[in-house]
């Protein structure tokens, strides 16, 4: 499957070994403090050594293929732990730190699915978050503090296993709802193939420095930054997500300071830089080094690209550097992008035709929306646009579901054969001899030139600030938050606004409670619970009478119909709390 | 440690609506506790599209459904307004507008006495 003539490595182990051998004293990673000062750094040699120490520790009590949860805050220890696992043949499972006030379920379902033997963290997290030990105490897991791992001195190093391309490198839990978590099994072969695709399309070299604040438990942060730079042998400058959120321009200053060629983030980040633009904080900043500003992981807006370019062009930002991309965990991370210096394709299309799932030239100004291209196909990958009704392949300029195949398409979901079959083993009608295809769940079209446009989503998933959310998880939190709320009688859905995707919640209240309702109290309970459990601020809450949420005859919530009713103003709210709308 | 808690870094329209309250160029000097409290309430009211009377300065920020992102934006706006470097952890340590205002007023007074 892996073509050795074409690819320089067969696994992450071989990749790290090569970097440590050839560039031992070169810095691979730098972590910046919230003041922009270097707080930590790792050479390739140090990474190999420290990861080796972790691996030696793990090997004493692990079997090949055991899982290890990675619970880290921002910093370089995550990278050491990740490679420690990989070297030991243990499968790392990156996870966001559960919020202090949240209940057990979001992390618990991942733990239940992957049954980890280890929880890996560092001394800082253990000290600051004693609640984590309580949270996981009932589970038989071994804690492993990476900064306490010391390299074996003198004694012969243990034999480390050399993984095969088809072995699982790590599990990525970015898909799936809380009740049905889906851990994408990413193999070493998938990673090397996808890292090579990225390198080729973006024209990356050893001098391609990266600057990123995207969290490392996110595939964009980990693979498209940390692993790609290792693949190249270049420097990756990292900062904490909250540092970016508080001072977005510090990201741009880091790009300037380290002469980064590549820096990318979800669409909202580019908006945030514009919103918090202050000329005095940009003095002396020269962004002409920035060759690829990649934008992915959530819907990409033409307005965002134009505003960002206009704001930062005076600081040397090249308009041709903006690179919208498309990708997903099931395809390792990367699917499509424009080639370096290609710039962005923004196409005006007819609103009227779009509603009929067709692409046509606009009939006039009022009939125009603009869609942003996510680049062309990459060598080695096949893209098909498929009619979701008939299962047949569609011609260019027709909207259908995006299907993919290639060597970077992952093995499936961990211990979930049913979902694996459904998602990873699709067949195109009339092309029965073909390889299995990945159904992305995203809707889009290819134009005559092969540019891929993403226009919507086939499934109910919501994407807010690059993170995936499932409506059923939020709906459950909502009806548990107050006794007046009817169970299984709410719908969460997202709407695209000028400032990105926003979440709307429609929920029925119990008949008995209706006359005595303290609406403000109910809404406060809902908001607090959703923020605590899901780290998401609801945009709008609509409380409705019992029996008025649209359901199918079998009793399933019709979220898309509820969404349509909300957009058409045809719901009858008992009170509308329109917050930050 | 709260910085490790951010699940979904991102923009909420909290900043968008509120940024017009005060431009960064006019740094507020020597604000009193009640001025800071009123500013917080005005900021929240504007971003939440509520009348200021409906925001209880003694109620926790969490009751307003603020996620980490929204909290960070409030701190960032306060930094601009007060001309202070603030930690994003402030909101987790001082969980109501009233508590936050009390703390910040002390900071401002401390800064004044330190420089005079």
> Smallest Cβ distance to A99: which of B7, B12, B69?
B7
Is B23 inside a domain boundary? no
Per the structure block, which two tokens stand in for A419? 């979902």
Residue of chain B nearest A499, judged by CA positions = B13
CB contact under 8 A, B15 and A125: no
Count of domains for chain B: 1
Pairing relationship of beta strands A236-239 and A27-32 according to DSSP bridges? parallel
Cα separation, A424 vs A404, whole angstroms? 9
d(CA A168, CA A76): 23
Residue B89 included in any domain: yes
Low-confidence ranges of chain A (pLDDT < 50): 1, 154, 156, 576-581
List, as one string, the DSSP characters of A158-220. PPPP---TTSEEEEEEEEE-SSSEEEEEEEHHHHHHHHHHHHHHHT--TT--EEE-S-TTSHH
Q: What is the mean pLDDT of chain A?
A: 91
Residue A447 is assigned to a structural domain of this protein: no
Structural domains in chain A (count): 1
Domain that holds residue B65: 29-111
Tell me the per-residue pLDDT of B31-69, one tens digit each, with 9 for 90 and over: 899 999 999 999 988 877 677 888 889 988 888 888 888
Token pair of A489, please?
A: 């009688």
- Is B27 in CB contact (< 8 Å) with chain A? no
Residue of B nearest to A541 (CA): B65
Q: For residue B63, is it within any domain?
A: yes
The Cα A243–Cα A191 span in angstroms is 29
- Contact flag B10-A275 (C-beta cutoff 8 Å): no
CATH of the domain at B51: 1.10.1200.10
Instruction: Suggest the residue from A129, A213, A241, A528 to mutate for an interface test with chain B (most B CBs closer than 10 A).
Output: A241
Note whether A534 contacts B14, CB cutoff 8 Å: no
> Which of A74, A240, A531 is the closest to B66 by Cβ?
A531
Pairing of strands A181-187, A451-457: unpaired
Range of the domain at A550: 470-578
CB-based burial label for A430 (10 Å; 0-12, 13-18, 19+): exposed
DSSP class per residue in B13-47: HHHHHHTTTS-TTS---S--HHHHHHHHHHHHHHH
Answer yes or no: is pLDDT of B18 > 80.
Answer: no
Whole-angstrom CA distances from A409 to A74, A204, B84 are: 28, 22, 49
Q: Is residue B49 less than 8 Å (CB to CB) from chain A?
A: yes
Contact B4 A73 (CB under 8 A): yes
Instruction: Confirm whether A118 is domain-assigned.
Output: no
Q: Helix, strand, or coil here: A281?
A: helix
CB < 8 Å to A34, chain B: 3
B65 in contact with chain A, both atoms CB, cutoff 8 A:
yes
Pairs across A and B, CB distance < 8 A: 131
- Does A83 fall in a domain? no
Model ipTM over 0.85 = no
Chain A closest CA to B14's CA: distance in Å? 7
The Cα–Cα gap between B80 and B27 comes to 7
Q: Is residue A237 in some structural domain?
A: no
Domain assignment present for B98:
yes
Contact check, Cβ <8 Å, A535/B67:
yes
CATH at residue A478: 3.30.300.30
- Hey, of B5, B58, B65, B72, which one would you mutate to test binding to chain A, going by the most A CBs within 10 A of its CB? B65
pTM: 0.87
B96 is a domain residue: yes
3-state SS assignment for residue A535: coil
Q: Which residues of B touch A100 (CB under 8 A)?
A: 2, 5
Of B10, B50, B65, the CB nearest to A268: B10
pLDDT tens-digit map of A215-241? 999 999 999 999 999 999 999 999 999
Give the residue among A344, A428, A422 at the shortest CA–CA distance from A385. Answer: A428
Across chain B, which distance is largest between two alpha carbons, in Å? 42
Q: What is the pLDDT of residues A305-349, one digit of tens each?
A: 999 999 999 999 999 999 999 999 999 999 999 888 888 999 999
pLDDT class of B114 with cuts at 50, 70, 90: very low
Q: Measure in Å the smallest separation between the Cα of A482 and chain B Cα atoms.
A: 13
The verdict on a CB contact (< 8 Å) between A246 and B72 is yes
- Min Cα–Cα distance to chain A from B100, Å: 17
Question: What pLDDT, in 10s, does the model give residues A492-539?
Answer: 999 988 777 889 999 999 877 655 667 888 888 999 899 888 888 898
Per-residue model confidence (pLDDT) at position B112: 54
For residue A498, the chain B residue with the least C-alpha distance is: B13
B95 by Cβ neighbours in 10 Å (0-12 / 13-18 / 19+) ranks as middle
Instruction: Report CB contact under 8 Å: A527, B47.
Output: no
Place of tokens 């030239």: A361
pLDDT at B22: 41
Residue A562 placed within a domain: yes
Q: How far apart are CA B51 and CA B31, in angstroms?
A: 23
Q: What is the pLDDT of residue A361?
A: 94
Asked whether the beta carbons of residue A268 and residue B11 sit closer than 8 angstroms, the reply is: yes
Which residue in A has a C-alpha nearest to residue B75's C-alpha?
A246
Query: Is B9 inside any structural domain?
Result: no
Spell out the residues 6+ positions from residue B38 whose beta carbon is closer than 8 angstroms to its own.
Answer: none
Interchain contact B66–A (C-beta under 8 A): yes
Q: Which residues of A touch B17 (CB under 8 A)?
A: 580
- Let me know if residue A555 belongs to a domain: yes
For chain A, say whether B112 makes contact (Cβ under 8 Å): no
In a domain, B49, yes or no: yes
Give residue-wise pLDDT tens across range B23-33: 344 577 788 99
Residue A117 lies in a domain: no
The predicted pLDDT at position A138 comes to 74
Residue with more model confidence, B110 or A559: A559
- Confirm whether A521 is domain-assigned: yes
3-state SS of chain A: helix, strand, coil percent to 5?
Answer: 35, 25, 40
For residue A533, what pLDDT is reported? 84
């Amino acid at each position: 499957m892996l073509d050795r003539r074409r690819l320089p490595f067969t696994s992450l182990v071989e990749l790290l070994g090569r970097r440590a051998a050839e560039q031992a004293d070169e810095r691979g990673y730098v972590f910046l403090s919230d003041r922009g000062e270097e707080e930590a750094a790792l050479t390739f040699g140090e990474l190999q050594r420290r990861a080796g120490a972790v691996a030696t520790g793990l090997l004493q009590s692990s079997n090949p293929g055991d899982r290890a949860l990675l619970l880290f805050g921002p910093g370089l220890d995550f990278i050491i732990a990740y490679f420690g696992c990989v070297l030991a043949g243990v499968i790392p499972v990156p996870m966001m730190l559960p919020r202090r006030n949240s209940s057990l379920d979001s992390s618990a379902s991942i733990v239940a699915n992957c049954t980890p033997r280890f929880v890996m963290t560092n001394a800082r997290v253990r000290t600051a978050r004693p609640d984590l030990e309580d949270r996981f105490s009932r589970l038989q897991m071994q804690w492993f503090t990476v900064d306490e791992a010391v390299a074996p001195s003198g004694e012969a190093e243990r034999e480390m296993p050399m993984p095969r391309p088809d072995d699982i490198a790590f599990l990525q839990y970015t898909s799936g709802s809380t009740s049905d978590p889906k851990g994408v099994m990413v193999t070493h072969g998938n990673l090397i193939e996808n890292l090579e695709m990225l390198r080729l399309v973006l024209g990356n070299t050893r001098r391609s420095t990266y600057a990123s604040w995207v969290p490392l438990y996110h595939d964009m942060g980990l693979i498209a930054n940390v692993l790609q730079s290792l693949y190249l042998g270049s420097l990756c400058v990292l900062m904490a997500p909250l540092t970016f959120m508080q001072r977005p321009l510090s990201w741009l200053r880091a790009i300037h300071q380290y002469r980064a060629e590549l820096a990318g983030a979800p669409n909202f980040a580019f908006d945030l830089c514009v919103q918090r633009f202050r000329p005095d904080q940009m003095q002396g900043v020269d962004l002409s080094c920035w060759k690829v500003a990649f934008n992915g992981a959530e819907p990409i807006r033409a307005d965002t690209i134009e505003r960002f370019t206009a704001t930062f062009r005076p600081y040397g930002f090249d308009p041709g550097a903006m690179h919208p991309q498309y990708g997903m965990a099931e395809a390792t991370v990367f699917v499509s992008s424009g080639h370096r210096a290609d710039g962005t394709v923004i196409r005006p299309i007819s609103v009227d035709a779009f509603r009929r799932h067709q692409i046509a030239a606009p009939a006039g100004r009022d009939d125009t929306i603009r869609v942003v291209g996510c680049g062309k196909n990459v060598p080695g990958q096949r893209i098909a646009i498929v009619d979701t009704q008939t299962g047949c392949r569609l011609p260019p300029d027709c909207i259908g579901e995006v299907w993919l195949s290639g060597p970077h398409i992952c093995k499936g979901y961990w211990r979930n054969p049913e979902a694996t079959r459904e998602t990873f083993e699709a067949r195109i009608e009339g092309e029965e001899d073909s390889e299995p295809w990945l159904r992305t769940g995203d809707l889009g079209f290819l134009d005559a030139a092969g540019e891929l446009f993403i226009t919507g989503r086939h499934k109910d998933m919501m994407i807010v600030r690059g993170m995936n959310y499932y409506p059923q998880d939020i709906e459950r939190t909502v009806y548990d938050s107050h006794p007046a709320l009817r169970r299984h009688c709410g719908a969460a859905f997202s709407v695209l606004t000028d400032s990105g995707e926003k979440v709307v919640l429609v929920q029925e209240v119990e008949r008995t409670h209706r006359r005595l309702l303290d609406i403000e109290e109910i809404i406060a309970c809902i908001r607090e619970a959703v923020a605590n459990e899901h780290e998401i601020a609801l945009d709008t809450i609509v409380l409705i009478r019992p029996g008025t949420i649209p359901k199918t005859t079998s009793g399933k919530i019709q979220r898309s119909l509820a969404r349509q009713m909300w957009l058409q103003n045809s719901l009858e709210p008992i009170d509308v709390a329109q917050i930050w709308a | 440690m709260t910085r490790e808690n951010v699940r979904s870094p991102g923009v909420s329209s909290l900043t968008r609506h509120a940024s017009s309250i005060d431009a960064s160029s006019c740094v507020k000097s020597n604000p009193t506790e009640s001025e800071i409290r009123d500013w917080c309430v005005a900021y929240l009211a504007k971003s939440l599209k509520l009348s200021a009377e409906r925001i209880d300065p003694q109620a926790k920020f969490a009751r307003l459904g603020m996620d980490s992102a929204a909290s960070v934006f409030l701190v960032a706006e306060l930094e601009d307004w007060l001309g202070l470097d603030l930690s994003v952890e402030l909101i987790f340590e001082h969980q109501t507008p009233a508590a936050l205002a009390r703390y910040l007023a002390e900071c401002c007074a401390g800064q004044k006495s330190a420089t005079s």
